[in-house]
Structure 1
Amino acid sequence: MTGYILRRLMYGVLILIGVNLFTFILFFAVNTPDDMARLAIGGQRVSAEAVEKWKVEHGYDKPLFINDQKAGLDKYTDTIFYQRSIPLLKFDFGSSDGGRDISREIGARMGPSLALALPTFVLGLIASVSFSLVLIFFRTTRLDFWGVVLCVVMLSISSLFYIIAGQWLFSKVLRLVPYSGFAGGLDMIKFLSLPVLVAIVARLGPEARFYRSLFLEEISKDYVRTARAKGLSERIVLFRHVLRNAMLPILTGTVSALPLLFMGSLISESFFGIPGLGSYTIDAIGAQDFSVVRAMVFLGSALYIVGLIMADISYTLADPRVRFE
């Protein structure tokens, strides 16, 4: 098991290097340092002197990969890629193109993102698994049929519809919660209740339909028939046997998603005005702030790799038959 984890970590480092390089190439294939300077300064009618001054101040006056004006190692170290992207491998995010410390911004915005993501994750998982178990318990009945129809309808609707409809109903019509915003303390509940509710409803359809398929496959196996033959009730069969044996695919999606909770929700945070990492990324994309974008992409990739390793480890806890040599 230890050797397996070490190999996965080594593969993860290679993936992070590739993501770092690909993000750098992709960004500068679309933008040039001159374009970034003009956007930051505020328009196309900017003098060449102002553009050059901005590039010097922000470290974009050097070549991308190879500096032919230098000799030795400086030929490769005195470049934009080495100075702006290589430090990411040490999780040194540096400063944004606007001059703000990215690590400090991540630390300040992680709290609002977790405040939204954690209840959404926990309550959404409970709601999806419970709803799918109810459908399995009443399988081949009208409740199961219309429940599946409801899941198909819900997964066919965009999450933007739920956000707009939720804001219109609960904020404009019923006036129960604010449209958007964020506050600390107990006031946080009234600002987060609607985003959490909308996120749970948006994921209920696809997740419940997926879990129902898993449980339906498990319930037709021999060990379930054996459990029923021993006189166990349907409730015990579902919760003690079917749910436990269906945990592996559920863990794949849930445990691997845990680290990504820190990244926040791009759409929800933007629509509801929550100052988390999701809205921070969206703002950076709009401002074409390469430093913030590549930092968030790199951090998301690192967290996703950690999540996959956590999912593999959790397999051995959920199913003793799974062992990694």
Structure 2
Amino acid sequence: MLNYVIRRVLYAIPILVGVNLITFALFFVVNSPDDMARMQLGVKYVTPEAIDKWKAERGYDKPLVFNAAADGVARLTQTIFFEKSVAMFAFDFGRADDGRDIAHEIRMRMLPSLAIALPVFLLGLATHIVFALTMVLFRATYVDFWGVVLCVALMSVSSLFYIIGGQFLVSKLWHLVPISGYGDGPDAVRFLILPVVIGVLSGAGASTRWYRTLFLEEMGRDYVRTARAKGLPERLVLFRHVLGNAMIPILTGTVVVIPLLFLGSLIAESFFGIPGLGSYTIDAINSQDFAVVRAMVFLGSLLYIVGLILTDVSYTLVDPRVRLE
């Protein structure tokens, strides 16, 4: 198992380096520091002195990848590539345009993002799988038919409708929970109830239909017919055998969610005023804070690669054939 994990980590390193190089090229080659300065200062009537001052304040006045004016190792270290790109591997993200340390902001905002994303992920996974299994158990009946109709209806509605409608109905009319904001400690629970419920509900349609398709496909396998021939009840066949053999695609589908557990939901955090990484990213994009955007792109890539490694490891736990390979 240890050798398996080490191989996966070694495979992931070149991918992360490649993503970092592409990000550097997009931010500093395609969109040069001079272009960043003009976007921040205004396209019209920007003097070269103002551009040079803006670049010097943010460390963008150095050469991109090679500093011919320096000596020795400094020719490589005193460059934009080393200070702004290579330093990210040591989680040195630098400072935002407002002067605050980006790494500190990420640490402070990660917990609010997890507070909303983790319950949505766990409750949604359990709820959607149980709902799909129930539809498969009563397949070709009115339960299955109206379940599919409900899923299609939920899929057809934008997530913004759930957020705005939930805020209007639950918070403004019924006054059950705050409409937005965030608190510390146990007080944060009342601010998270509505975002979590909306997060689970808005993803129920697509997820449930996908799980239902997986389970229906497994129902036609030979091992299901064998289990039925042995006299096992349909409920036991479904919840033990079918669910167990469908775990591989389910685990694969959860990979894309892992980065969101840490990075938060861009839309939900913005609408509910939760000070997480999602709202932090949106604010950075709106204010054109390139340092924060670069840090969030790198962090998202790293978390996605970690998710792929965890998925490969989880395969070995649910599928003996992977362990044999």
Scaled by the length of structure 2, the TM-score of the pair is: 0.92
Tell me the equivalent position of 1:106. 106
Contact 2:96–2:291 (CA<8 Å) still a contact in 1?
yes
Matching of residues 131-146 of structure 1 within 5 Å: 131-146=131-146
Matching of residues 263-302 of structure 1 within 5 Å: 263-302=263-302
| Counterparts of 2:192 and 2:48, CA distance in 1 | 47
Tell me the equivalent position of 1:228. 228
Indicate the percent of aligned positions where both proteins have the same amino acid. 62
| Counterparts of 2:148 and 2:220, CA distance in 1 | 19
User: Structure 2 unaligned runs (5+)?
Assistant: none
- Displacement of 1:211 after TM fit? 0.5
| Counterparts of 1:54 and 1:211, CA distance in 2 | 52
Contact 2:259–2:307 (CA<8 Å) still a contact in 1?
yes
Q: Which moved more, 1:216-225 or 1:35-44?
A: 35-44
Q: Which moved more, 1:254-263 or 1:86-95?
A: 254-263
Say yes or no: does 1:261 pair with 2:273: no
Render the CA deviation track for 1:177-222: whole Å, top value 9, x for unaligned.
2221111123212211111111101111111001001110111222
Instruction: Name the count of aligned residue pairs.
Output: 325
| Counterparts of 1:39 and 1:233, CA distance in 2 | 66
Tell me the equivalent position of 1:16. 16
| Counterparts of 1:275 and 1:30, CA distance in 2 | 31
Tell me the equivalent position of 1:123. 123
Change (3 A) 1:42 1:182: farther
Render the CA deviation track for 1:299-323: whole Å, top value 9, x for unaligned.
1111111111111111121122322
Partner amino acid, structure 2, of 1:146: W
Scaled by the length of structure 1, the TM-score of the pair is: 0.92
Contact 2:182–2:275 (CA<8 Å) still a contact in 1?
yes
| Counterparts of 2:117 and 2:12, CA distance in 1 | 25
Tell me the equivalent position of 1:66. 66
| Counterparts of 1:176 and 1:44, CA distance in 2 | 50
| Counterparts of 1:105 and 1:188, CA distance in 2 | 19
SS of the residue corresponding to residue 6 of structure 2 reads helix
Tell me the equivalent position of 1:209. 209
| Counterparts of 2:319 and 2:103, CA distance in 1 | 38
Render the CA deviation track for 1:227-259: whole Å, top value 9, x for unaligned.
222222221111111111111111122366335
Change (3 A) 1:324 1:22: farther
Tell me the equivalent position of 2:218. 218
Render the CA deviation track for 1:84-112: whole Å, top value 9, x for unaligned.
11111222222223321111111110110
Contact 2:255–2:304 (CA<8 Å) still a contact in 1?
no
- Displacement of 1:70 after TM fit? 4.3
| Counterparts of 1:18 and 1:112, CA distance in 2 | 30
Contact 2:155–2:206 (CA<8 Å) still a contact in 1?
yes
Contact 1:20–1:294 (CA<8 Å) still a contact in 2?
no
Tell me the equivalent position of 2:148. 148
| Counterparts of 2:324 and 2:309, CA distance in 1 | 12
User: Structure 1 unaligned runs (5+)?
Assistant: none
Contact 1:94–1:103 (CA<8 Å) still a contact in 2?
yes
Partner amino acid, structure 2, of 1:19: V
Say yes or no: does 1:88 pair with 2:88: yes
Render the CA deviation track for 1:274-304: whole Å, top value 9, x for unaligned.
0001111111111222221111111111111
SS of the residue corresponding to residue 258 of structure 1 reads helix
| Counterparts of 2:227 and 2:117, CA distance in 1 | 38
| Counterparts of 1:311 and 1:252, CA distance in 2 | 7
Contact 1:4–1:324 (CA<8 Å) still a contact in 2?
no
Tell me the equivalent position of 1:180. 180
